[in-house]
A = this chain, B = another copy of it.
């Protein structure tokens, strides 16, 4: 008998991937420009020019034995030092290189962190809607994912729901802001409320609760006024899981980091757990060339103005057609209320208009669909009549 759980995971493609594959074959049938694929979160904006330049320069001017050699398991020291200093400057923290652990992207950041802190039966609270792989990652690490609903309509953090979900088994709260799939950014009041709830609970019950912030979309906020609070400034027992996949449009290259808050009592133990979990999961080091790349372009992003333009256009048009849209302040996702109670049926009907939308059920939020608008502005324009026709089809 194989490991049935993993066999099933391997067989059942996520519904997002399923829809993406459908889109590919549909495009082959009726032409690329006639299918409006809003299924996948694959950045459509190229990596910034600095990436190409830096890659070539590094390859040209570094001894290949050094460049392509093993780095330390935590990542190259000078890379970690550069990033620690940058984080300190940006967020007024006092991290050192030894708080950082370079990873193969956000998924690795999360699996390593969860395997560092979880024991069998531990609970991890997350706020719906949420990225469905959280469940896979948590369960592999022996934990149980506890889904807590966000506030109706806004999907902000609902503190009462958090309080109701806290138990002596709660080991961590995992947040993702800007959020996939809703695009919502948790404001400072949200974070303060959340931190108070878990601090109060853990103090009262003598437990320790980690706050994990999954931040692949941190740099993707569109309005100057939108702040994404840095959790280390609000809660000591916190860990940031970062990735450059979206900010630098490098999702296939797998590069990110874990930052362990050194204000947390016993943070060195947590860091040791991260190193050990990385070993046990088979992560020897993060890709060496891309570590060196990050050292050079850590403060650069792709041209995210395209995503803002897409958001603005879609938000205005869909609202005009009568859709109820959760206002997205970041990431490149939009959560739209389905025009019938069952979002899966709605998404099925959308397919008739060649609109590929993912039902929110998979993200723990029924009655909504997710649109990934990391697509070309041209496709957005072409898709608008389809959105209108879909809305109109419900008006008869």
Contacts and interface: CB of A to CB of B under 8 A. Distances in A.
A9 B107 contact: no
Interface residues of A, number: 79
A229 interface: no
B44 A3 contact: no
A289 to B, nearest CB: 6
Interface in A1-31: 1-3, 5-11
Interface string A242-255: 00000001111110
Nearest to A278: B10
B108 A68 contact: no
Nearest to A266: B2
A341 interface: no
A179 interface: no
Contacts of A137: 280, 282
A189 B253 CA distance: 42
B118 A253 contact: no
A140 interface: yes
A155 interface: no
A283 B108 CA distance: 7
B253 A289 contact: yes
A136 interface: yes
Q: Which of A6, A60, A107, A116 has the most CB of B within 10 A?
A: A6
Q: How many copies does the complex hold?
A: 2
A14 to B, nearest CB: 9
B273 A6 contact: yes
A165 interface: no
Interface stretch (A45-53, A81-89, A194-202, A350-358): A45-53
Q: Which of A47, A271, A272 has the most CB of B within 10 A?
A: A272
A290 interface: yes
A185 interface: no
> Chain A at the B interface: mostly helix, strand, loop or mixed?
helix
A277 B68 contact: no
A279 to B, nearest CB: 5
Contacts of A7: 116, 269, 272-273, 276
Q: Which of A133, A136, A276 has the most CB of B within 10 A?
A: A276
A70 interface: yes
A191 B111 CA distance: 37
A301 interface: no
A22 to B, nearest CB: 15
Contacts of A71: 252
Given A10-B279, A277-B10, A282-B108, A65 B116 contact: no
Given A107-B282, A281-B281, A253 B68 contact: yes
A42 interface: yes
A64 B288 CA distance: 19
A218 B249 CA distance: 35
A105 interface: yes
A60 to B, nearest CB: 8
A286 B286 CA distance: 11
A78 interface: no
A284 B107 contact: yes
A287 B253 contact: yes
11 contacts: A2-B269, A3-B277, A5-B276, A5-B280, A6-B279, A7-B273, A9-B275, A133-B279, A252-B291, A254-B286, A287-B287
A-B interface, 10 closest residue pairs, ranked by CB to CB distance from nearest: A252-B288, A9-B276, A10-B276, A111-B282, A10-B275, A6-B276, A10-B272, A140-B280, A107-B282, A46-B64
